[in-house]
Amino acid sequence: MIIKPMIQGVIARSAHPHGCKEAIRRQISYCRTANPISQGPKRALILGASSGFGLATRIALAFGGAQTETLGVSFERGPSEKGTGSAGWYNNIYFRQAAEQAGIKAVNLVGDAFSPAIRQQVIDTLRAQFDGQVDLIVYSLASGVRPDPATGEFWRSSIKPIGKPYQGTTLDLERQILTETILPPATEQEIHNTVKVMGGEDWASWIETLIQADVLAPGCKTMAYSYIGSSHTNPIYHHGTLGRAKAHLHQTADQLHQQLATVGGEAYVAVCKALITKASVFIPGLSPYLLALFQVMKAKGLHEGCIEQMQRLLSHRLYPDSGPVITDHQRLIRVDDWELSEDVQQEVSRLLTQMTAKNFRELGDMDGYLNDFLNLNGFGFDNIDYTRPISPEELVRLKP
Ligand code: NAI
Ligand code: NA
What 3-state class would DSSP assign to 138?
Answer: strand
222-242 pLDDT tens trace? 999 999 999 999 999 999 999
Expressed in angstroms, the distance from the first to the final Cα of the chain is 22
For residues 280 and 229, give the distance between their C-alpha atoms in angstroms, rounded to a whole number. Answer: 13
In a domain, 369, yes or no: no
100-111 pLDDT tens trace? 999 999 999 999
Q: Please tell me the predicted confidence (pLDDT) of residue 10.
A: 83
Domain count, the chain: 1
Ligand nearest to the CA of 64: 2
> Using CA positions, which residue lies closest to atom 29 of ligand 1?
140
What are φ and ψ of residue 92, in 5° steps? -55, -50
Does the annotation list 53 as a binding residue? Answer: yes
Helix H segments across 272-378? 286-299, 306-313, 342-354, 360-363, 366-376
Task: Fill in the amino acid letter for 67.
Answer: Q
User: Which class for 216: exposed (0-12), middle (13-18), buried (19 or more C-beta within 10 A)?
Assistant: buried
Q: Which atom of ligand 1 is closest in space to residue 224's alpha carbon?
A: 32
The binding-site residues of ligand 1, defined as CB within 6 angstroms of any ligand atom, are: 48-54, 73-76, 88, 112-114, 140-143, 225-227, 272, 274-275, 277-280
Q: What amino acid positions are annotated as catalytic residues?
A: 237
Contact 395, 85 (CB under 8 A): yes
Full domain range(s) for residue 54: 7-159+195-279+303-337+378-397
Local confidence band at 68 (pLDDT 50, 70, 90 cut-offs): very high
Contact 125, 131 (CB under 8 A): no
Q: Please tell me the predicted confidence (pLDDT) of residue 9.
A: 83
In a domain, 167, yes or no: no
Pocket test for ligand 1, best of 58, 73, 140, 146 (most atoms within 8 A of CB): 140
154-163 pLDDT tens trace? 999 999 999 9
Domain CATH number, residue 393: 3.40.50.720
For residues 376 and 372, give the distance between their C-alpha atoms in angstroms, rounded to a whole number. Answer: 6
In a domain, 368, yes or no: no
For residues 385 and 373, give the distance between their C-alpha atoms in angstroms, rounded to a whole number. Answer: 18
- In angstroms, what is the C-alpha Rg of the chain? 20
In a domain, 186, yes or no: no
Cα–Cα separations (whole angstroms), residue 196 to 157, 199, 236, 275, 302: 8, 6, 18, 24, 35
177-211 pLDDT tens trace? 999 999 999 999 999 999 999 999 999 999 999 99
Q: Which ipTM was obtained for this model?
A: 0.98
Pocket test for ligand 1, best of 11, 55, 71, 74 (most atoms within 8 A of CB): 74
| DSSP H/E element including 121 | helix 116-129
Q: Please tell me the predicted confidence (pLDDT) of residue 375.
A: 97
Contact 215, 127 (CB under 8 A): yes
In a domain, 371, yes or no: no
Ligand nearest to the CA of 313: 2
Evaluate if residue 268 carries a pLDDT over 90.
yes
| DSSP H/E element including 116 | helix 116-129
Taking a 5 Å cut-off on Cβ, the residues next to ion ligand 2 are: 38, 315, 321
Contact 73, 46 (CB under 8 A): yes
Pocket test for ligand 1, best of 195, 203, 225, 335 (most atoms within 8 A of CB): 225
Strand 177-183 to 166-172 pairing: antiparallel
Ligand nearest to the CA of 37: 2
Average pLDDT, the chain: 96
353-378 pLDDT tens trace? 999 999 999 999 999 999 999 999 99
Q: Which atom of ligand 1 is closest in space to residue 47's alpha carbon?
A: 21
Distance 54 CA to ligand 1 centre (A): 7
Does the annotation list 52 as a binding residue? Answer: yes
In a domain, 115, yes or no: yes
In a domain, 252, yes or no: yes
In a domain, 104, yes or no: yes
